[in-house]
Structure 1
Amino acid sequence: MSAPAEKQPLPFFYNFLAGAIAGVSEIIVMYPLDVIKTRQQLDSTGQYKGTLDCLKKIVKEEGFSRLYKGIAAPILMEAPKRATKFAANDEWGKFYRKQFEVKTMTQPLAVLTGATAGATESLVVVPFELVKIRLQDKTTKFNGMGEVVKHIVKENGLLGLYKGTESTAWRHIWWNAGYFGCIHQLRSLFPKPKDATEKTLIDLTCGAIGGTVGTILNTPFDVVKSRIQAGSTKYKWTYPSLAIVAKEEGFGALYKGFIPKVLRLGPGGGILLVVFTACMDFFRTVHEGK
């Protein structure tokens, strides 16, 4: 997501703010798909037969508003999460280019930078993800964020809010590596856009494809992360948990919730890139106009 080589990078604050705006825009549009994805991932009994079946059952049995249950946590999370994603990707990109003594980003460096940015991002999102999962679970007895946080701290202390840190890190490492790596490669294949509309279409395409590839790579890690954070004692560490799910439920179980997840993060990845790029273009105009 760094600015083109011929332009001076903008200060960190602009990357952070643009990422925050992009993240909140994406979550407002796509959140119901995240609820459906989580329900399918936590379903080890085959209650839901697919994305539409899950959607129908949630609306019929719990009401339409249930599709927005727990949205406060993601809204509060999205600003620091997406801001950290894009800002960390930009800063790590500068770091790696300096370390490897290259002036422009290469494909391997784009993947490495994305993966490192993902690990950085995961440190910010773990508590919010944990609260969100506990609220989205069908069996939840909590009515809001405050109740969840109070319960976790009472039972496990402040460190309890970081349950699932390792699995969350792997989820973000794989998604960011695929997302940013694809965007770098795809942008190099497109001709230079002639106008703002063409630039937006290219960003939307690159972001959507990048989001889809990232989702394909990280869905198994997301499945076990959801189960670890839901409180199951069966799942503790990421890679052993992948083996348990595959052995007990079949390899396909590692892709539970894939359809709503890819429907969200494919187009969602496009929304993120378009909004982020538009914000950065605006901020560049403001900054250079000073």
Structure 2
Amino acid sequence: MAQPEIDYESLPPNAGLTVNMLAGALAGISEHAVMYPVDSIKTRMQVFATSPVAVYSGVGNALTRISSTEGVRALWRGVWSVVLGAGPAHAVHFGTLETVNELLGGNEAGNQWVATSIAGASATTAADALMNPFDVIKQRMQVHKSEFRSVFDCARTVYRTEGLGAFYVSYPTTLAISIPFNAIQYTIYEHLKRLINPTREYSPSAHMISGAGAGAVAAAVTTPLDVVKTMLQTRGTSHDPEIRNVRGISDAFRIIWARDGLKGFSRGLSPRVMTNVPSSALCWLSYEFFKAAIRTD
């Protein structure tokens, strides 16, 4: 007797929130771990360094110089921070995403862009509250000549010298990035997925292409705010008094504009898009796969 065809892109009603959260956690860890070296290069390129040794002209230049002077392992420094944080944060993200989307009718026929946008914004607000401290630790460990070699040592030092606020000084900026990023990404993803795969049959390629396109657009649009976020999160590692004492978004904007003009807000654009295209493709592919693989019957 032939087995019934599985609708890969949807879950049965009894799948529950736990399945969505577990699928999200596994997808998040996969996404961040694979693309971490490129993310490290992005952070290095966004930091306003005082040493010419730490100034890079492009992704290839950064990769060559970091590998030759610090070793390839330097590109992976801090990866455990995102591994530890990405699982729980993405579980919260996708759990909230699916719940809000379902409540607002985002799974109904047609282009439900309002529902998917609100679902994306709600998901990132909850997830970033959990992930922000891990992101601060990650970036402190990614900078040139970082003094930290352990996630826990970095966390202790930042807390002791700068207080709890250091882990959340960039949270408003993070939300200012993540809310439009995820609203744009999720809306474009859903639209492309329905366009490419209208029959909703098993199609990993549709998830990858849709995720890649959505990630590229969202990353490019939000790069200026990402530069601001990097300055706020790495301020404690800077030897520049003005950067070390930056207090918020407006301060960071003023410094970037004064020192580098409009082009300063595009720092790290290439590696940011390079990171998000495959990572978004992998994240959505992994999420849809894990969601189907661990669904309840």
TM over 0.5: yes
CA distance in 2, matches of 1:110, 1:283: 24
CA distance in 1, matches of 2:250, 2:125: 16
User: Sequence identity of aligned pairs in percent?
Assistant: 24
Count of residue pairs brought into register by the alignment: 279
Residues 9 and 271 from structure 1, CA distance in 2 versus in 1: closer, same or farther, beyond 3 angstroms? farther
Q: Is the CA contact 1:118–1:174 (under 8 Å) kept in the aligned structure 2? A: no
Residues 43 and 230 from structure 1, CA distance in 2 versus in 1: closer, same or farther, beyond 3 angstroms? same
CA distance in 2, matches of 1:272, 1:30: 11
Q: 2:47 aligns with which of 37, 42, 49?
A: 42
CA distance in 2, matches of 1:237, 1:160: 11
Shift of 1:28: 2.4
The answer to whether the aligner puts 1:237 opposite 2:248 as a matched pair is yes
CA distance in 1, matches of 2:141, 2:113: 39
Q: Is the CA contact 1:27–1:75 (under 8 Å) kept in the aligned structure 2? A: yes
Q: 2:180 aligns with which of 165, 174, 181?
A: 174
> Paired residue for 1:275?
286
CA distance in 1, matches of 2:170, 2:250: 13
Shift of 1:51: 0.9
CA distance in 1, matches of 2:201, 2:181: 30
Shift of 1:243: 4.5
Residues 68-125 of structure 1, C-alpha deviations (whole Å, 9 max, x = no match): 1111101111111222221121122234349xxx955711221222122122221011
CA distance in 1, matches of 2:85, 2:133: 9
Secondary structure of 1:268's aligned partner: helix
Q: Which amino acid aligns with 2:263?
A: G
> Paired residue for 1:65?
73
CA distance in 2, matches of 1:239, 1:110: 30
Q: Is the CA contact 1:215–1:265 (under 8 Å) kept in the aligned structure 2? A: yes
Q: Is the CA contact 1:126–1:163 (under 8 Å) kept in the aligned structure 2? A: no
CA distance in 2, matches of 1:275, 1:281: 10
Shift of 1:239: 4.9
> Paired residue for 2:19?
14
Q: Is the CA contact 1:114–1:180 (under 8 Å) kept in the aligned structure 2? A: yes
CA distance in 2, matches of 1:44, 1:153: 23
CA distance in 2, matches of 1:158, 1:265: 29
> Paired residue for 1:223?
227
Q: Which amino acid aligns with 1:85?
A: H
> Paired residue for 1:152?
158
Residues 200 and 3 from structure 1, CA distance in 2 versus in 1: closer, same or farther, beyond 3 angstroms? closer
The answer to whether the aligner puts 1:259 opposite 2:263 as a matched pair is no
> Paired residue for 1:161?
167
Segment of structure 1 superposing worse, 212-221 or 6-15: 6-15
Q: Is the CA contact 1:178–1:217 (under 8 Å) kept in the aligned structure 2? A: no
Residues 92 and 244 from structure 1, CA distance in 2 versus in 1: closer, same or farther, beyond 3 angstroms? farther
Shift of 1:240: 5.1
The answer to whether the aligner puts 1:184 opposite 2:184 as a matched pair is no
> Paired residue for 1:121?
127
Q: Is the CA contact 2:173–2:228 (under 8 Å) kept in the aligned structure 1? A: yes
Segment of structure 1 superposing worse, 262-271 or 154-163: 154-163
CA distance in 1, matches of 2:259, 2:48: 13
Unaligned 5+ runs, structure 2: 1-7, 236-242
Q: 2:36 aligns with which of 31, 34, 38?
A: 31
Q: Which amino acid aligns with 2:261?
A: G
Shift of 1:244: 3.6
Shift of 1:139: 3.5
Q: Is the CA contact 1:118–1:175 (under 8 Å) kept in the aligned structure 2? A: no
CA distance in 2, matches of 1:50, 1:91: 41
Segment of structure 1 superposing worse, 135-144 or 200-209: 135-144
Q: 1:203 aligns with which of 207, 226, 229?
A: 207
Q: Tell which has more relative contact order, 1 or 2 (C-alpha 8 A, sep 6+).
A: 2
